[in-house]
Each structure stands twice: as structure tokens, then as C-alpha cells.
Amino acid sequence: MNRDEHFMSAALEEARKALASGEVPVGAVIVKNDRVISTGHNRRETGKNSLYHAEILAIDAACRVCGGWRLEECELFVTLEPCPMCAGAILNARIARVVFGASDSSAGACGSAVNLFSLPTFHPPEQKAGVLSEECTALLSDFFQNRRQQQSPSLPGIILEPLHILWEIAQTKDGQTSSLSLCSPEGKAVFDTLGQQYTLCLVIEDHQYNPEALLREQQLQDCFASIRYAGCSASEKAAAIRRTMRFRRIRRAVFVGTTEADRIAAETAGLPFVFFDTGTGRPKHFAHRIRKLEELPTVCEELLKSP
């Protein structure tokens, strides 16, 4: 075992401490003059703090040991490629060398996803990747595989678009739409019930209202699992539906909308479509049409039970 592998083994021991606490297993050690002066492992969940990455905690401890913020004579060994936050902390601490085990193609900031060490503002650290990468990768892979197995299957889904479904349309005397009034108490009761039986998601056209604020105002935010923004076209909505289902692990769902483009989006995404008739626009033939929110649970239950 060479020098880098020796210190990466110490980082792996820290990662196993994170694993024992139910955290994503990432560990780090900081070395000065061939001696470990600080350690850290991921503690975001136990510490209830988004800053508690292994590298951040190790850097914080090293600064206290060294009595200053400059760690120019130090090396950082970490089991997973640092994220942008940790890469920024490494640059600001002036750490001389960074060695990591597993690469992170989704969020690695040392060259896999982005390379913050290429910024001209800072003197970049020397870096080395892939030290004990098999051990580091296996620890992470096993953790996520076990977590997926332990998770219960998601509920069937109801995906809704647009916000007209949530708020009834108020009209002036001449029949023109004047405003969107907030969801009625009866409608709120429907969503409360649906949220207990289904995974409710919103796919919102990106030019529409602020759904987060409106949901909070009506105390409906806990009913909806996620909100995703999409363009106006059917293909863009269909792509947003697919992403939503993958993210929420929804296997079966129905899509509720108010336009022909919504129907095409549902068909493209392979979902049954429920047309919510708001009373505006030309009437068209839809296989499943509702005029009141109270009708939605019955229709969705029939569609989700059908083969």
C-alpha cells in the first residue's frame, strides 16, 4: 500500500462512520507533514445541516488545529469527488493537494461535471483521482442499492396541469375571464383526500403563476409531492411528465389537463388523460371529461385500476 492509499484508507474509515449513522458514506481526512490533523464524514442528516459535508467538516477542524484559515501545506483525501460547495472551500483554504477516490459524474466539481479548479482567480491545488476507487465506489453503490430496496413502492400518481385546475375561473358580466379565484373549500377537501391516496404532482407552464405561493396560501403545499415547470408545447409537457414520474418513482399515473395539447402530451407520455372542462374554449370529444373536482377521485380510480 502506497502513501496515497494509506491516507485514503483513513478516509474510508470515516466514510464507514457515516454509513453506520445512516448517512451517505463519504469520508475525508486532511494531512500535514505526513500526519492526519483532522477528519470528517458526511453528517447532513444527523446534524440537520446542508453544510455538513465531509470535506467542510475536515477543513473546519484543520483550521482550528493550524490556528488559521490558510492550509497551504495540507492535503485533502476524500472518498468522493468534491461537489461545487466543497471545491470552493478547498480553493479558499488554499489546500495544496486533493486526492479523491470515486468520481461523481452528476455533481463532481474537479472535472467530472464541472471543474472549479480551472478558475483563474485561485491557484488550483494539485489533484489526483481514482485512489482506491473500487472500494469507494462499492461503499456508495451498496448504500444506495440498500436504500432503494428499503423504500416502499410509491403511490399511484395524478399529474395535473395547469393551475386552472386548482382555482375556479371567475367571470365578469360579459363572460370574459377577470381573475382566478382561489380553490373552494370543497376543492381543498378533494385535494386533501387525493393526497392521501395518490402522489399528486403539478406540471406547470413556465409563464404561469407562482404555484408555490398559491399552494402555501391555501395550505395545500403538503398535498403535492412536486412541481415541475415545462414549456407550452405537448412534447415539452410530455418530457416534464416523464421526468416527474422518474423522480417520484411513479409507475402508474393519469394526467389531468384542460387543452388538446395536454391530451397529446399524455398520449406521448403513455398515460390516460382526463379532461377538466373549465367551460372555456370549444367543446371537444374526450374519453374522460370532468366538470368538478369532486368527480376526479372516481375517474382516476377507474383509470388506474384498468389494465
Show which residues are catalytic. Answer: 55
Q: List the grid coordinates of 46.
A: 444527523
Cis peptide before 82 (omega within 30 of 0): no
How many CB atoms are closer than 10 A to CB 174?
A: 6
Q: What is the DSSP letter of 182?
A: P
Q: Are 39 and 64 in contact (CB under 8 A)?
A: no
> How far is residue 273's CA from residue 279's CA, in Å, rounded to a whole number?
18
Over the range 235-254, which residues count as b (16 or more CB within 10 Å of their CB) and which as e?
A: ebbbbbbeebbeebebeebb
Please name the residues in contact with 86: beta carbons below 8 A apart, sequence gap of 6 or more.
53, 55, 56, 78, 109
Strand pairing report for 273-276 and 289-290: parallel
Return the C-alpha torsion angle 141, 146, 151, 152, nearest 10. 130
Q: How long a stretch of residues is the chain?
A: 307
184: how many CB neighbours lie within 10 A of its CB?
A: 14
| Angle 24-28-30 from CA coordinates, rounded to 5° | 165
Instruction: Report in angstroms the alpha-carbon separations of 279 from 207, 284, 296.
Output: 22, 11, 16
User: How does DSSP assign 16-84, residue by residue?
Assistant: HHHHHTTS---EEEEEETTEEEEEEE--HHHHT-TT--HHHHHHHHHHHHHTSS--TTEEEEEEE---H
